[in-house]
Amino acid sequence: MKTVNDINFNTKKAVIRVDFNVPLDENFKVTDATRIEAAKPTIDYILAHGGSVILMSHLGRPKGIQDEFSLRHIVDKVSEVLGMPVTFASDCIGQVAENAAAHLKSGEVLLLENLRFYKEEEAGDVAFAKQLASLGDVYVNDAFGTAHRAHASTTIIAQFFPENKCFGTLLAKEIESLNKVLKNSEKPVTAVLGGSKVSSKITVIENILDKIDHMIIGGGMTFTFIKALGGQIGNSLCEDDKLDMALDILAKAKAKNVQIHLPVDVIAANAFANDAQTQVVNVNAIPDGWQGLDAGPKSLEATKAVILQSKTILWNGPLGVFEMDAFANGTIQLGEFIAEATQNGAFSLVGGGDSVAAVKQFGFEPKMSYVSTGGGAMLEMLEGKILPGISAILNN
């Protein structure tokens, strides 16, 4: 796997695909700079080794040129994170971009305008990719969040750099961390899958069954399994058209000697509201009019026992509706268990929008081995797919 460490950047211009698709407030100020901070090690490395940097990214889903999606809004924040001035080009191709790139000196940083102002970006247009490629000497992909898309800047551009293309530090770490779970994991391996729907996780489940020893199922997807097994789930979330699929997963897991751990009790509420009445009930005996919204105490005890004996842990999806304080305890407790296992030497990988949001919200991020930056990309890798943005760097 070729990374920035394998390339001589002295006097070279590196075109880096970063993921600066960051949230902005109504005054166009960046509210969370995590993605910019994540790209800093790659940028710092290239600058320290005599290179200059041309950053390209998308922001939002613009329909043509829309000022609210201009990357000029984030220039100050990028400068602040990098601790140096950043030049902005008001276009990503053509004369404006070419002039800005031509005047770039070693040790300087240029940020190009939003790639998605051109429909050719998402279309994977070769001529557009060639124009982007013409700006630099080396291509670096450091955007894991878009590595599952065959866009011009994430995949197509790589063909114009047969020798001079590599992974940035962030993307290399993402691949390494996922491979630690999928290919070189230390046993026992436990996957914790939460969230609302079985259907969105089915391909992941089928792909990882051969690689894991335990699967802990939580969140709303629990109730599709419980109902399939004949339990009473009251008004809990359920995918009625996926009951056979749930039984099929249980059968496959049994055939592969994977232990599936379903909750035994839940915190049930009489309404989907923070101030609803709650009670602890058996997961298969939820009264009519009530719905399971968080893991119960017995379930959490069982979860703790499995997590603390695991050597590799994958966490994707919360155990309850953690956005409401009344139903956040299960997800917080799970975070505590995984943090403890990690401290004891386990490797823990957290990925998927809601799990990442939860570990950040409750302060667990520094206590996990790795928190993935790409929700969709990580899920596709867990499904066993080869991501186009990754294969483009690996293949000449």
Report in angstroms the alpha-carbon separations of 35 from 44, 84, 176, 382. Answer: 15, 17, 19, 22
How far is Cα 370 from Cα 173, in angstroms, rounded to an integer?
9
**201 assigned ligand-binding residue:** yes
Q: Which two tokens stand for residue 369?
A: 């081995």
Report in angstroms the alpha-carbon separations of 30 from 23, 83, 90, 299. Answer: 6, 16, 19, 39
pLDDT of 29 strictly over 70 = yes
How far is Cα 223 from Cα 147, in angstroms, rounded to an integer?
33
**19 assigned ligand-binding residue:** yes
DSSP string across 332-367: HHHHHHHHHHHHTT-EEEE-SHHHHHHHHHTT-GGG
pLDDT of 149 strictly over 80 = yes
For 367-373, what is the mean pLDDT?
92
**17 assigned ligand-binding residue:** no
Domains annotated on the chain, with CATH: 4-171 (3.40.50.1260), 185-382 (3.40.50.1260)
Q: What is the pTM for the complete model shown?
A: 0.89
For 13-29, what is the mean pLDDT?
96
**Angle of CA points 157, 162, 165, to nearest 5°:** 65
* Residue 30 amino acid letter: V
Strands 291-295 and 214-217: what pairing?
Answer: unpaired
Of all helices (H) and strands (E), which one includes residue 278? strand 278-282
**60 assigned ligand-binding residue:** yes
pLDDT of 281 strictly over 80 = yes
How far is Cα 132 from Cα 153, in angstroms, rounded to an integer?
8
Q: Which two tokens stand for residue 326?
A: 């009344």
Contact (CB, 8 A) for 169 and 46 = no
Residue-wise pLDDT tens digits, 216-235: 999 999 999 999 999 999 99
pLDDT category at 396 given cuts 50, 70, 90 is low
Q: Output phi, psi for 204, to 5 deg.
A: -60, -50
**51 assigned ligand-binding residue:** no
> Average model confidence (pLDDT) for the chain?
95
**345 assigned ligand-binding residue:** no
Pinpoint the alpha helices (H) of 183-325: 202-208, 222-228, 243-255, 297-308
Q: Supply the residues annotated as catalytic.
A: 35, 197, 353, 376
CB atoms within 10 A of CB 190: 27
For 139-157, what is the mean pLDDT?
95
Pinpoint the alpha helices (H) of the chain: 34-48, 75-82, 94-102, 119-123, 126-133, 169-182, 202-208, 222-228, 243-255, 297-308, 329-343, 353-361, 375-382, 388-394
pLDDT of 197 strictly over 70 = yes
pLDDT category at 378 given cuts 50, 70, 90 is confident
Polymer length in residues for the chain: 396
Contact (CB, 8 A) for 322 and 355 = no
DSSP string across 217-247: E-GGGHHHHHHHTT-EETT----GGGHHHHH
Residue-wise pLDDT tens digits, 41-77: 999 999 999 999 999 999 999 999 999 999 999 999 9
